[in-house]
Structure formats: C-alpha cells, structure tokens
C-alpha cells in the first residue's frame, strides 16, 4: 500500500513540518484516509474529538455555530483541522463542512501520542507550533468578546 499521498499531506501541515521521512511514514501508516461529499460534516461543534484532520484535497468551511464570526474556507493541501485534539479531548469549538468533495488524512490522538513517546524530540518542536495555534485561538476569542460587547 502506498502512503505517498498521506505523507505528502502530513508533511505540508505546519505541526508535522519537522518530522523526518520515517516518522511521517509511521504517522501515515497509523492514520486513515477519509472522504466527505460536498455538504457532509467533517465534524460538528460540541463533539469530543479523538484526533485531527489534514486536508489532502477538496474545500472545507470552518464555522463557529451560533456566533457572528465569518466562516473560513480553505482548500490548501496540508491545512489542519482540530490540531489541539492531538493533545486534549475538549469539545470542538467549531464545525467543519465539506464545500466540495474533500479527502483528509485522519490522525488519531492515540497514535500521534505513541509517535511522540517513541521520538521525544518531536515534542519540543511541536510545542512551539501548538503554542502558536493556541495563541491564535485565544486571539480569536478576543474578537468574539469585542463583537459581543458591541
């Protein structure tokens, strides 16, 4: 079975940019390819995640249901959805819907954590990337607070 497509998408994701070929292959092998038709939910706000999604192809829209925030669309290969769910299991704050048929690499948290245990140096590089992601998320909460105060 060829894992080239999965490895290519994973290496395009900023969180996995520092992984070497062997580590990417291990992660791709333990991940699964998932396809969603246009209009299908990839995930819904409030669900408890068990992993993250990396876009291979297609287009997806991420929205904050019930909030006055403009949804974000992406068709960028390697775009990662739910990266924090690789570390924690908190209800998803957003929903993601396939706008056009979309294919993802789904990375289960348990397999990702197994990789980090096997290669501890990955953890320090990932902590910097995830910190940036958390700061962006917290920044978006400030935008929400400002809109609510209006």
pLDDT digits (tens, 9 = 90+) for 53-100: 999 999 999 988 776 667 787 888 889 998 888 888 889 888 999 999
Question: Per-residue confidence at 49, pLDDT binned at 50, 70, 90?
Answer: very high
Domains of the chain with bracketed CATH: 4-144 (2.60.120.10)
Strand partners, 102: 36
Q: Is the pLDDT of residue 34 over 80?
A: yes
pTM, full prediction = 0.82
């Amino acid at each position: 079975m060829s894992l080239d497509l999965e490895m290519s998408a994973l290496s395009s994701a900023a969180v996995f940019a520092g992984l070497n070929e062997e580590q990417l292959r291990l992660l791709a092998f333990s991940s699964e390819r998932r396809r969603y038709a246009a209009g299908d939910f990839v995930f819904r706000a409030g669900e408890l995640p068990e992993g993250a999604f990396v876009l291979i192809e297609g287009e997806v829209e991420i929205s904050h249901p019930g909030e006055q925030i403009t949804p974000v669309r992406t068709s960028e290969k390697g775009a990662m959805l739910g990266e924090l769910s690789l570390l924690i299991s908190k209800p998803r704050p957003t929903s993601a819907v396939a706008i056009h048929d979309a294919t993802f690499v789904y990375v289960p948290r348990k397999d990702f954590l197994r990789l980090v245990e096997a290669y501890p140096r990955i953890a320090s590089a990932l902590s910097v990337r995830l910190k940036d992601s958390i700061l962006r998320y917290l920044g978006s909460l400030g935008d929400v607070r400002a809109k609510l105060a209006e």
